[in-house]
Amino acid sequence: MITEKEQKNADEFICKDCDFTCSKQSNFDKHLSTRKHKIVTNSYKKMPKMPNKYMCICGKEYVYRQGLYTHKKTCKEDSPEEVKSLTTMVMELMKSNTELQKQLVDVCKNSNTTNIHTNNSNNSHNKTFNLQFFLNEQCKDAMNISDFANSINLQLSDFESVGELGYVEGITKIMLDKLNSMDIYKRPIHCSDAKREIIYVKDDDKWEKEEKNNPKLRYAIKTISFNNMKLMGLWSSTYPESMDGDSRLNDKYMKLIKQSTGGNGEIEDSENKIIRRIVKEIIIDKV
């Protein structure tokens, strides 16, 4: 901003901070008292911490009405149902963690799972015995499935990986990376038959055969997904430009959120795909 002395000797009055020019002292004085000038020069002490935002139907936000007006000329206006659906999905997943914990307790109390100590038949006696020895002796110090899910130290790179690879491939990679880094006898899950998806899970310090719908493994998947989803706040604070609706980082951020909350498919279908991929990598070597 020019000084008072420069103003008196100049043909024009110029405010470089606001890119404002005029030829009259009175107009220039009026400009100096405007809210815009005080905001730009950081002298507007009563400026609210969070400015009012103007939101487009597609979900992008703008501080000024003019920005929203300009954006609407080229906006494709995604369906408001899609925007609401994404928000609803995030809220539901945040609530699901507690509900899933309660469901797991019920499963443990009411399940009639087959005890691995019981032989299915005389013809399979040797195989059952070997499986029993493998799980209860060689894998006696294995980690519980719930501890496994919560022990994964997720990073922003994992959050980005899920966004880039998609929900199914991203969550599968996180789980397999952790399993492959563990001693085989410390793993909380093993598969004795990949075709029929016969899975054994260590939970509550004991090995049990999973039920048909694999509730305990699904719980682990949901827990990891939920912990990954919580990184969205850290990502946005690390890249504040992502909160600007006009930036490319904002587009990337919205994609990361969408994939971390399940992507385009149904959650149950996605979990089925994840389970099939994991089963292939945890087959017990019976040789």
H/E/C letters for each residue in 153-221? CCCHHHHHHHHHHCHHHHHHHHHHHHHHCCCHHHCCEEEEECCCCEEEEEECCEEEECCCCCHHHHHHH
Kindly indicate the confidence band of residue 52, based on its pLDDT and cuts at 50, 70 and 90.
low
pLDDT in tens, 238-248: 999 988 888 88
User: In whole numbers, what is the pLDDT of the chain averaged over residues?
Assistant: 80
pLDDT for res 114:
47
Name every residue whose Cβ is closer than 8 Å to that of residue 102 and which is 6 or more positions away in sequence: none
Region at 197 (left for phi over 0; alpha for psi -120 to 50; beta for the rest):
left
10 Å CB burial of residue 39 (0-12, 13-18, 19+) is middle
Neighbours of 148 (CB within 10 A): 24
pLDDT for res 121:
42
Residue 237 in contact with residue 140, Cβ under 8 Å? Answer: no
Strand partners, 62: 54
Of 202, 183, 179, the C-alpha closest to 280 is 179
Pairing relation of β-strands 189-193 and 61-62? Answer: unpaired
pLDDT for res 187:
96
- What average pLDDT does the segment 121-149 reach? 78
Q: Which residue has the tokens 């494709």?
A: 76
Among 28-32, 63-67, 75-79, 235-239, which range has the highest average pLDDT? Answer: 235-239
List the beta strands (DSSP E) in the chain. Answer: 13-15, 20-22, 54-55, 61-62, 189-193, 198-203, 206-209
Q: pTM to 2 decimals?
A: 0.58
pLDDT for res 66:
76
pLDDT for res 4:
47
Name every residue whose Cβ is closer than 8 Å to that of residue 207 and which is 6 or more positions away in sequence: 116, 135, 136, 139, 142, 200, 201
Kindly indicate the confidence band of residue 64, based on its pLDDT and cuts at 50, 70 and 90.
confident
- Is a pLDDT exceeding 80 seen at residue 196? yes
**Range from 46-50, 183-187, 194-198, 214-218 carrying the lowest mean pLDDT:** 46-50
- The span from the CA of 60 to the CA of 68, in Å, is 9
